[in-house]
Chains A and B, each alone.
Chain A
Amino acid sequence: MSNEAIIQVEHGAGQEIHELHEGHHHHQSFITKYVFSQDHKMIAKQFLITGMIWAIIGGLMSVLFRIQLGYPDASFPILEDIFGHWAKGGKIQPEFYYALITMHGTILVFFVLTAGLSGTFANLLIPLQIGARDMASPMLNMLSYWFFFSASMVLFSSLFVQTGPAAGGWTVYPPLSALGDASQGSKIGMDLWLVALALFVISTLLGGLNYVSTILNMRTKGMSMTRMPLTIWAILFTAILGILSFPVLFSGFILLLFDRHLGTSFYLSDIVIGGKVLPNEGGSAILYQHLFWFLGHPEVYIIILPTMGLVSEVMSVNARKPIFGYMAMVGSLFAITVLAFLVWAHHMFVTGLNPFLGSFFVLLTLLIAVPSAIKVFNWLTTLWRGNIQFTTAMLFAIGFVSMFISGGLTGIFLGNSTLDMHLHDTYFVIAHFHIVMGISAFLGMFAGIYHWFPKMFGRYLNSTLGNLHFWITLVCAYIIFWPMHYEGFAGMPRRYYDYSSWESFKDFVELNKVISFAAILSFAAQLMFVFNFFYSIFYGRKVTTMNPWHSSTLEWTTPINPGHGNWPGEIPEVHRWPYDYGKDGKDFIAQTTPVDESESKH
């Protein structure tokens, strides 16, 4: 009720008419409906599709560098036809390789799994699941997308400059990134990278402010905090993490820009390039690493927390059982959020960090295992003796848990500073973070897409293609990343261009071929998903009931194709928590159903 009043105050009298005639929507031009839309559902779709385009680009990059890693001696003339001097003689050049891995990381971490994921599901689900007509500020929300879009444009244009995009790893550590003379990838491409990321930070902040403000202020009557679905809790903590950590990254970037263009020495000291001594003195490259990882570590939780929420929701619905340990789930999300800020230096054990200080970071890092394990335990017990519906979304949700366990366990290895000395910057690290936050986050995101696609487009995704998508992705993901653990144990360093010339790593040439083959196959499977996605938007099986998954949450009380404002009449009132499945002999009880006297307590 209260948020209705607010919307009326904000939009003046025009809004009232708008609300009354929600059924037959007032006329909107193409521009205001599809382009500069302020409807949270349309903005969600914009984020999703932009994220998908980025995912295809970023994925294609990984295919290219996997070709180099799997077949370092072969030559593919077609590559030269497409990429010109970047692939001279049909071989990917070292500079190109370095740019590819840098952009792959940047795109996937920020543009796909932060904006594409949070942007999509926060926008889609917050108003629908808490019972609001739109976000607290639809305007800020729209700006958030368009800042993301301009960040995308800048980053995309950097792929086409003559010296190539930024290269130097997605962390862009100085001094390499601060000195244009140091390498090709540190010239204009690096400036564009920094500008793109600055715009990206603004987008994330605008979005995050709105998410927090909406969740805390605009819930419908009866929707107390403890009656919110876990998706909303997860998004809330994600937004808080972003709001508090992205500004610190921003300050790190500002100092880096100063070093690049104003001759300052925040990060630079005693450097010689090509025999020439630079005048910079007194700077510290480690300072950048502190500022970067103060965001960088929360960033991995910004990626994984929303998918934890999505998976919890999908799993409870499809197990036809209440989520096990709701408050423990919320508590562990909170604990992860707090700990996320206290562990950043575990990325810096080999920088000469004081070992005494390091031991605190080891302790705090290992503590994260506790809330993570609580969550895994709760997912498994939610499945336990459930009436599991193996929908495509559910398969992905279960796959998420499998991946999260595999990847989480290797985190315990890396969190120990003594072990990390050996494993740092090897393929073990690659395997760990790809499984625990790359593949896991993707599987959780797919679970969300397959589950909420009917709400977004009023049609279903094809489940045969969906199941095929799931199995190929899961099997390939393990084939790609499992062997990398062994390579890492053997000390094989990451980011190298060609391993065949190293006596110690020659043995892995065949294994690298297998990994590359699986990587290409899984990329093809993702293209199949993209086809399924766009085909189903137009020709998918139509949704005929309001609540296709028999879910108890609020988004399924809206019309099949909700207009701007979501509910045609009044916003429904909420009477119970969102997980009343299989209670008192009933399959499910919607959140809008008042509590009966004779009902048992949950």
Chain B
Amino acid sequence: MSELMGLQQKKIHPNKFTLWVALGSIVMMFAGLTSAYIVKRNQNGWLSFELPRIFWYSTLVILLSSLTIQMALRAFQEREMARYRLMITVTASLGLLFVTLQVLGFMSFQESGLKMIGRGSSASYSFLLAIGGLHAVHVLGGVIALLVMFFRAFSKKFRSYSIVPVEVVATYWHFVDILWIYLFIFFNWAN
């Protein structure tokens, strides 16, 4: 059995592997959207814009949340369950804060006259909502995963000491963080 465990440690856990493939799939979706954006930008009638300040704050928030999820992972490794629970709660709250800031950002963008939807909207602006909104949905997915982890950590029935689920969620969280950084840079400097 110990030999088996050794073998297992060298090989990547199937769930983690599945996650990485899934991330590849999400990358393809955003690659499709951002390349559509680039194609459109090079056509006539493109309107360039500047991102509202609020998106800078949301970027800071999501960066911070990456830090806290890493701390949660560390706490789990050290079996400090109280700190672990605190850290995933903080991360989930930061995730929700991020999504709220994004929504506020979209609203201020729309209200400043750069119409993303409705009559008189321009595809140049709509892309921000379509791509940014889709990203926010992915962050929400991460928040839901964190909530599941949170209830599991308190559950009496589930006593799991496997680190795999925590690692999977942490990897996903870092991924949506990096994805937003990419989109942020993209929207700031690619129009």
**A and B are partners in one complex rather than unrelated chains:** yes
Distance in Å from the Cβ of B134 to the closest Cβ of chain A? Answer: 6
Chain A residues whose CB sits within 8 angstroms of the CB of B45 once the complex forms? 281-282
18 further interface pairs, Cβ-Cβ under 8 Å (given A264-B121, A294-B32) = A1-B4, A2-B7, A6-B8, A209-B25, A212-B21, A213-B21, A216-B17, A217-B12, A217-B14, A218-B14, A244-B25, A244-B28, A247-B25, A247-B26, A258-B117, A262-B118, A264-B117, A266-B126
Distance in Å from the Cβ of B56 to the closest Cβ of chain A? Answer: 25
Residue of A nearest to B7 (CB): A2
Closest 10 CB pairs of A and B: A247-B29, A248-B32, A136-B14, A264-B126, A262-B117, A213-B18, A251-B32, A247-B28, A217-B14, A263-B118
Q: Could you tell me if B121 and A263 are in contact, using CB atoms closer than 8 angstroms?
A: yes
A258-B11 CB under 8 A given contacts A209-B25, A263-B117, A284-B40:
no
Distance in Å from the Cβ of B148 to the closest Cβ of chain A? Answer: 13
Distance in Å from the Cβ of B115 to the closest Cβ of chain A? Answer: 9
B42-80 residues at the A interface, CB under 8 angstroms: 43, 45
Chain A residues whose CB sits within 8 angstroms of the CB of B30 once the complex forms? 251
Chain B residues whose CB sits within 8 angstroms of the CB of A248 once the complex forms? 28-29, 31-32
Q: Does A265 contact B (CB under 8 A)?
A: yes
Q: Could you tell me if B11 and A279 are in contact, using CB atoms closer than 8 angstroms?
A: no
Give the CA-CA distance A282 to B46 in the complex, in Å: 8
Chain B residues whose CB sits within 8 angstroms of the CB of A136 once the complex forms? 14-15, 17-18
Give the CA-CA distance A282 to B42 in the complex, in Å: 12
Q: Does A90 contact B (CB under 8 A)?
A: no
A-B pair number, CB within 8 angstroms:
122
Q: Could you tell me if A283 and B123 are in contact, using CB atoms closer than 8 angstroms?
A: yes
A252-299 residues at the B interface, CB under 8 angstroms: 252, 254-255, 258, 262-266, 279, 281-284, 287, 290-291, 294
Q: Does B156 contact A (CB under 8 A)?
A: no
Candidates B29, B39, B123, B129; contact of A251 at CB < 8 Å: B29
Distance in Å from the Cβ of A284 to the closest Cβ of chain B? Answer: 7
Give the CA-CA distance A1 to B12 in the complex, in Å: 15
Q: Mark A1-29, 1 if CB is under 8 A from B, else 0.
A: 11001100100000000000000000000
Q: Could you tell me if B118 and A213 are in contact, using CB atoms closer than 8 angstroms?
A: no
Q: Does A214 contact B (CB under 8 A)?
A: yes
Distance in Å from the Cβ of B183 to the closest Cβ of chain A? Answer: 13
Distance in Å from the Cβ of A248 to the closest Cβ of chain B? Answer: 4
Q: Is the interface of A mostly helix, strand, loop or mixed?
A: helix
Q: List 24 A-B contacts (CB under 8 A).
A: A136-B18, A208-B21, A209-B25, A212-B21, A218-B14, A245-B28, A247-B29, A248-B31, A251-B134, A252-B32, A263-B119, A263-B121, A264-B117, A264-B126, A265-B121, A265-B122, A265-B126, A266-B127, A279-B119, A283-B123, A284-B40, A287-B39, A287-B40, A290-B36
Q: Does A140 contact B (CB under 8 A)?
A: yes
Chain A residues whose CB sits within 8 angstroms of the CB of B5 once the complex forms? 5
Q: What is A's interface to B at a CB cutoff of 8 Å?
A: 1-2, 5-6, 9, 136-137, 140, 205, 208-210, 212-214, 216-218, 243-248, 250-252, 254-255, 258, 262-266, 279, 281-284, 287, 290-291, 294
Interface residues on B, range: 35 or more
Q: Is the interface of B mostly helix, strand, loop or mixed?
A: helix
Q: Could you tell me if B126 and A258 are in contact, using CB atoms closer than 8 angstroms?
A: yes
Q: Mark B68-107, 1 if CB is under 8 A from A, else 0.
A: 0000000000000000000000000000000000000000
Give the CA-CA distance A252 to B29 in the complex, in Å: 9
Give the CA-CA distance A403 to B119 in the complex, in Å: 51
Distance in Å from the Cβ of B31 to the closest Cβ of chain A? Answer: 8
Candidates B14, B117, B122; contact of A214 at CB < 8 Å: B14
Give the CA-CA distance A246 to B28 in the complex, in Å: 9
Give the CA-CA distance A254 to B28 in the complex, in Å: 14
Give the CA-CA distance A140 to B22 in the complex, in Å: 12
Residue of A nearest to B134 (CB): A254
Chain A residues whose CB sits within 8 angstroms of the CB of B21 once the complex forms? 208-209, 212-213, 243
Q: Does B116 contact A (CB under 8 A)?
A: yes
Give the CA-CA distance A208 to B127 in the complex, in Å: 29
Q: Does B178 contact A (CB under 8 A)?
A: no
Give the CA-CA distance A212 to B18 in the complex, in Å: 8
Chain A residues whose CB sits within 8 angstroms of the CB of B40 once the complex forms? 284, 287
Chain B residues whose CB sits within 8 angstroms of the CB of A213 once the complex forms? 14, 17-18, 21
Q: Does B130 contact A (CB under 8 A)?
A: yes
Candidates A216, A262, A282; contact of B122 at CB < 8 Å: A282
Give the CA-CA distance A248 to B22 in the complex, in Å: 14
Give the CA-CA distance A218 to B21 in the complex, in Å: 16
Q: Could you tell me if A264 and B15 are in contact, using CB atoms closer than 8 angstroms?
A: no
Give the CA-CA distance A85 to B137 in the complex, in Å: 42
Q: Could you tell me if B123 and A282 are in contact, using CB atoms closer than 8 angstroms?
A: yes
Q: Mark B115-146, 1 if CB is under 8 A from A, else 0.
A: 01111111110110110001000000000000
